[in-house]
Structure 1
Amino acid sequence: MRMRHIPVAVALSGVLCVPAHADGVRDIGRDVLAPDDGWAAAGGGTTGGAAADDAHVYTVTDRAGLVRALEHGSDTPKIIKIAGTDDSGHHLDCADYATDGYRLKKYLAAYDPRTRGSAKPSGPQEEARQASAAKQAERVVLPVGSHTTLIGLGDAVLKGADLQVGNANNVIIRNLDLRDAYDCFPVRQPDTGGLGDWKTAYDTLTLTGATHVRADHITASDKGHPDSAEPTCFARNYLRHDGLLDITGGSDLVTVSWSRFADHDKAILIGNSDSATGDRGKLRVTLHHNQFESVVQRAPRVRFGQVHVYDNRYVVPEGSEYRYSLGVSTESALYAENNAFHTPSHVEAADLVKSWNGTALHQSGTLFNGYPVDLLALYDAYNSGSERDLTADVGRTPTLHGKIDSAAVADREVARGAGAGRIP
């Protein structure tokens, strides 16, 4: 099997509170979060790098410049504007990262379940895979520190990278097309899902222990490298991508708005383990005015978190794979209102919700192919008498939000305005 060419360089091409400027020109790098715009507005709000001095305002045109401006995840207030052209000359493919004798053909032969059964990979080829994965991570992982605004100018594209906001506070990421966080060295998990599976390492945006984060007008996708085009190895799709956005590890006070998540399997995960009881009282997230298009699942899937999902648009194209949109898991409090769903005939309204140990889901104002539906009633009717029944009481009513439009109005507005390159 030939490795794909994966450019992991930064490929670049050309409502918030807006501060006044003496020259009359708006500087979107210093825009700050509106005082009522979701959970990220709580506890003092989210300002990103708005307080940066002139010495820490950067315009970068390639990956090297971006790495320097990020300062290894430092907490110095900074504004980083991404503009320019592709970092040509630094496009690497998977063969450039392979080291210590790693070869996919050898790896598959070494861990064939017909000879190894369910034993976890160990030995020379697994060690070589780990070393190769570490070499790729050095280039792919970009740490974002506290008090940072990262914003694209024009049609900025960040390709083949994982922006990681880890244990950082007060971050704004805007107007970026985050594309194809491709893992060259997925690990074999032989004891998962009966026949085993593949586990990948990277998301386009990862929040771990992060607080006060705003993601606005981003586009996140697998554009150019869908997992559906990958081969089947050991009766499982050879996955190259994980999630588009993961919010885990006690992350808190996050707003994701006016963004587009597309052409991917697992879109947004909020809480990554049923046993992560330290997430209780955290994972407070608002998702509003986002579009989920050709997304198979997790839009979002929630554990523990208090999550407000309103005025979002969901599009399932004819012939695309689909599992569910709203995932209700352990101790989650998911409050969904005024969302619009467009699906082909094989997807029923009851398919939009799935539960794993979940107990409650509030939903109201839902439009399904243009018609109002009660998702909870349909879900409970479909699962009548099962342990998966859900109640409507999630224990709270969200109050921290802007104007909530009807699903019909939001449907039109999101179709026109969500995603990178569409800041008003």
Structure 2
Amino acid sequence: MEILIPLSFMLLFLLLVPSCICSSPLQDPELVVEDVQKSINASRRNLAFLSCGTGNPIDDCWRCDPNWEKNRKNLAECSIGFGKHAIGGRDGKIYVVTDPGDHPVNPKPGTLRYGVIQEEPLWIIFKRDMVIQLKQELMMNSFKTIDGRGASVHIAGGPCITIQYVSNIIIHGINIHDCRQGGNAYVRDSPTHYGWRTLSDGDGISIFGGSHVWVDHCSLSNCRDGLIDAIHGSTAITISNNYLTHHNKVMLLGHSDTFTRDKNMQVTIAFNHFGEGLVQRMPRCRYGYFHVVNNDYTQWEMYAIGGSAAPTINSQGNRFFAPNDHTFKEVTKRENAAQSKWKNWNWRSTGDLMLNGAFFTASGAGSSSSYARASSLAAKPSSVELRTVQILTLLMFLPNIMAFSFTFTFHLLLLVPSVVYVSTSHVQDPELVVQEVEKYVTTIHTFMSFYCRSINGSRRNLGYLSCGTGNPIDDCWRCDPNWERNRKRLASCGIGFGKNAIGGRDGKVYVVSDPSDNPMNPKPGTLRHGVIQEEPLWIIFKRDMVIKLHMDLLVNSYKTIDGRGATIHIAGGPCIKVHNKRNIIIHGIHIHDCKRGGSGYVTDFPNHRSWSARSDGDGITISGASHVWVDHCSLSNCFDGLIDVVHGSTAITISNNYMTHHNKVMLLGHSDSYKDDKNMQVTIAFNHFGEGLGGRMPRCRFGYFHVVNNDYTHWQHYAIGGSSSPTIFSQGNRFLAPNDEDHKEVTKHFKSSEREWKKWNWRSEGDLMLNGAFFTPSGAGATARYDRASSMAARPPLLVPSLTAGAGALRCKNGHLCGH
């Protein structure tokens, strides 16, 4: 034994020689390579000093800690690949499941369902071993971790887990098997809401429109449909260290061959064991980018990796052991396409180990950017997996080695150091976002220069075009007399943090011909019928109309509401709500006199109704949403806020709006205790804050807010306020203070002493102060925090009246330039 221990570690060390396979990320290859080297080197160093080191950077990140139970949340820092930034319930309390029972509508405290539906972040653990037989799908809310460590937890014998239009989920250490269909029943998905669920598929884990999801160290088998399915625009996902057995269609990544929004899907599949009794789909991919790295394929009956609709698949460092049947030796399978088509799909095998006659049919480009985008981490040589099984099996029995359950024991055998990938995130660092969107911009300074060039271009247009305003949004589309035929050009005109909101750009045009409203059974031709559809739609109006809604208008993802060409009022009832959706554009609508919606059923999908609790009465509520752009709307006189952005919403631009006659104008951030809003990023640009306004233009919490080139001609109390240490960058605005000497100050700091708020980063740069207006700055000077809040370059404040002259809903007539 004395000889075995050093020999074993020497062999491990020799196996961990540097791999020359490295990845190139979607955003910045140099940054990802740096993370790659850190991750690999850290795992290697651990092998030299830690008896539990495996070389698997996920496991080596936390499993060597004998106090893992006290330090459970360290797991959230250990992910790799496209789902690296899934933080789950890291920032919340510990919730302990004590009761294996289940009630789909009225879950009891102590049950798993009660925990996962809460609005707050939670790290969910289990008091003891238990088998949970769910009666309906477990509808998860955002920012949750289900952590099975320390108990043997089975979710089995009923419907299983659904992650639908939520983000930041970690599922770890759970046995999920024998999952059945659920549905045709009411199911609660938040403390204040339950809705009718149609028949589900019977997946082990269904990810539907979800993002930042990490499934790690789970054992899955024998479900009705898929073990893990990710569809309907889901992205930023890592599936790692799982043991999958006894199933036919193992893993579907991509909804259908016609659902093109899955082209942005990015999934890392790493360190999994595809074991006995598996047939196919390990995975089966559509459209997106898939990095399949250092997995062990010991069984398949038909094929291992398949796909259709031109996905990019980068297979690296896997071990493929083919079945004995000579008909099914091929690792790959192309579906629904002739060879003349699939030969152009980018499928590549690098460093894979082919055993028992296995072979991979490659296609497409060689070393292309598509592969680079699909490479979420660096692979270890595939032979390491096989050669270390015997060594690590011996080491498992040595003294002072931690004992693990079977779920973890197998994965100790996978010796595969890897690399972290910085994935596309709703929470954007402007420097990185600009690198992606504007390829030639490489730093925040050139980012600012880019916008300067954009605005300077608009200035030059003033010399030649009678419609030129110098406002880069308007000059992008308003000078086109054929704007009606080219409506969708608007989707390319956004600026700031919400720049990438595409709305219904990729869908059909839907014409609203009927101003009536039925919340439960909306008629074709009504606005509600359009906004609830699953498909992308660009919604326009046949004629002038006043729409009085009976309940909140629940807008589905990928919708544009475009009021140009008609005078459209949404008024006199509940108004617009964007809840847990993304890619919304609202343009050219009069929104006023909004009331609270009552409690009742509302149709929010074509085949789904949900119970809606009493609403706040905002003009536009943006809750848990991302990539939203509100432009050229006129808003006034609502029950609560004109525009409220809460519950982790981010990537938002509010521009060219005209706001009047209201008290609490704009709330950005749910509460002082809701820390998930620290990732909120909002651009407020070219708006006119007019007569009869009280305060909150805006009132901010936690996040990053760029307030640029707005015209503040009236306020009664203050213009810009906040609490909970937001970063506020005010640039190039015009502030005309009221005559009341007590309210000349632009800013107001809430709920903190001066000793606290003087550390908050609030800065005024190039603002024009009139009639005694003054801004109280605080915090650092020119810091990175300010740069992150700079979503575009400011115009000189003297130009603000002309920049905002067209604020509000425009009068647009076909064949003519759009004017006010």
TM-score under structure 2 normalisation? Answer: 0.35
Distance in 2, Cα, partners of 1:421 & 1:206: 22
Identity %: 23
Partner of 1:251: 649
2:567 pairs, out of 155, 164, 168, with 155
Asked whether the 8 Å contact 1:328–1:361 carries over to 2, the reply is no
Q: Taking structure 1 as reference, are residues 353 and 329 closer, same or farther at Cα in structure 2, changes over 3 Å only?
A: same
Partner of 1:413: 803
- 2:704 matched to 1:306? yes
Q: Taking structure 1 as reference, are residues 310 and 326 closer, same or farther at Cα in structure 2, changes over 3 Å only?
A: same
1:38 pairs, out of 474, 490, 496, with 496
Distance in 2, Cα, partners of 1:82 & 1:331: 42
- Alpha-carbon distance, 1:328 to partner: 2.4
Distance in 2, Cα, partners of 1:242 & 1:397: 32
- Alpha-carbon distance, 1:63 to partner: 3.0
1:271 pairs, out of 669, 676, 679, with 669
Match runs of 1:189-228 below 5 Å? 201-222=616-637
Distance in 1, Cα, partners of 2:684 & 2:712: 13
Partner of 2:794: 404
Q: Taking structure 1 as reference, are residues 87 and 268 closer, same or farther at Cα in structure 2, changes over 3 Å only?
A: closer
- Alpha-carbon distance, 1:412 to partner: 3.3
- Alpha-carbon distance, 1:376 to partner: 2.4
Q: Taking structure 1 as reference, are residues 246 and 25 closer, same or farther at Cα in structure 2, changes over 3 Å only?
A: closer
Distance in 2, Cα, partners of 1:19 & 1:61: 28
Distance in 2, Cα, partners of 1:306 & 1:419: 25
- 2:683 matched to 1:286? yes
Partner of 1:367: 768
Asked whether the 8 Å contact 2:656–2:806 carries over to 1, the reply is yes
Q: Taking structure 1 as reference, are residues 81 and 327 closer, same or farther at Cα in structure 2, changes over 3 Å only?
A: same
Partner of 2:587: 174
Asked whether the 8 Å contact 1:361–1:393 carries over to 2, the reply is no
Asked whether the 8 Å contact 2:732–2:795 carries over to 1, the reply is yes
1:296 pairs, out of 690, 694, 709, with 694
Match runs of 1:229-244 below 5 Å? 241-244=639-642
Asked whether the 8 Å contact 1:46–1:212 carries over to 2, the reply is yes
- Alpha-carbon distance, 1:34 to partner: 4.2
SS at match of 1:58: strand
CA shift digits 1:68-99 (9 cap, x unpaired): 2222xx431011113435469xx7xxxxxxxx
- Alpha-carbon distance, 1:402 to partner: 4.7
Asked whether the 8 Å contact 2:551–2:597 carries over to 1, the reply is no
Asked whether the 8 Å contact 2:728–2:789 carries over to 1, the reply is no
2:716 pairs, out of 322, 346, 357, with 322
CA shift digits 1:168-224 (9 cap, x unpaired): 1101000001011124889xxxxxxxxxxxx982101010011001111001101xx
Asked whether the 8 Å contact 1:200–1:241 carries over to 2, the reply is no
- The aligned amino acid for 1:262 is T
SS at match of 1:396: helix
Q: Name segments (4+ residues, structure 1) moved above 6 Å.
A: none
Match runs of 1:95-174 below 5 Å? 139-152=550-563, 153-160=565-572, 161-174=574-587
Distance in 2, Cα, partners of 1:221 & 1:24: 31
Partner of 1:49: 504
Distance in 1, Cα, partners of 2:544 & 2:482: 28
Q: Which moved more, 1:263-272 or 1:344-353?
A: 344-353
Partner of 1:346: 740
Asked whether the 8 Å contact 1:146–1:169 carries over to 2, the reply is yes
Distance in 1, Cα, partners of 2:545 & 2:536: 26
SS at match of 1:140: coil
- Alpha-carbon distance, 1:247 to partner: 0.4
Distance in 2, Cα, partners of 1:165 & 1:296: 25
1:76 pairs, out of 523, 535, 542, with 535
- The aligned amino acid for 2:770 is N
Aligned residues: 307
- The aligned amino acid for 2:537 is K
Distance in 2, Cα, partners of 1:169 & 1:376: 35
Asked whether the 8 Å contact 1:208–1:251 carries over to 2, the reply is yes
- The aligned amino acid for 2:503 is G
| Runs of 5+ unmatched residues, structure 2 | 1-472, 518-525, 600-613, 812-817
Distance in 1, Cα, partners of 2:477 & 2:769: 35
CA shift digits 1:205-248 (9 cap, x unpaired): 010011001111001101xxxxxxxxxxxxxxxxx710000000
Asked whether the 8 Å contact 2:729–2:790 carries over to 1, the reply is no
> Could you say which structure has the greater relative contact order, defined with CA pairs below 8 angstroms and 6 or more residues apart?
1
Distance in 2, Cα, partners of 1:325 & 1:304: 18
Partner of 1:67: 528
- Alpha-carbon distance, 1:367 to partner: 1.6
Asked whether the 8 Å contact 2:716–2:743 carries over to 1, the reply is no
SS at match of 1:206: strand
TM-score under structure 1 normalisation? Answer: 0.65
Two-structure CA RMSD over aligned residues (Å): 3.1
Distance in 2, Cα, partners of 1:171 & 1:51: 12
Asked whether the 8 Å contact 1:60–1:80 carries over to 2, the reply is no
- The aligned amino acid for 2:528 is V
- Alpha-carbon distance, 1:411 to partner: 2.6
CA shift digits 1:249-293 (9 cap, x unpaired): 110100011101110000110002011112222x20000000111
Asked whether the 8 Å contact 2:501–2:583 carries over to 1, the reply is yes
Distance in 2, Cα, partners of 1:390 & 1:313: 25
- Alpha-carbon distance, 1:366 to partner: 1.8
- The aligned amino acid for 1:173 is I
Asked whether the 8 Å contact 1:70–1:145 carries over to 2, the reply is yes
Partner of 1:101: none
| Runs of 5+ unmatched residues, structure 1 | 1-14, 92-137, 187-198, 223-239, 378-388
SS at match of 2:776: helix
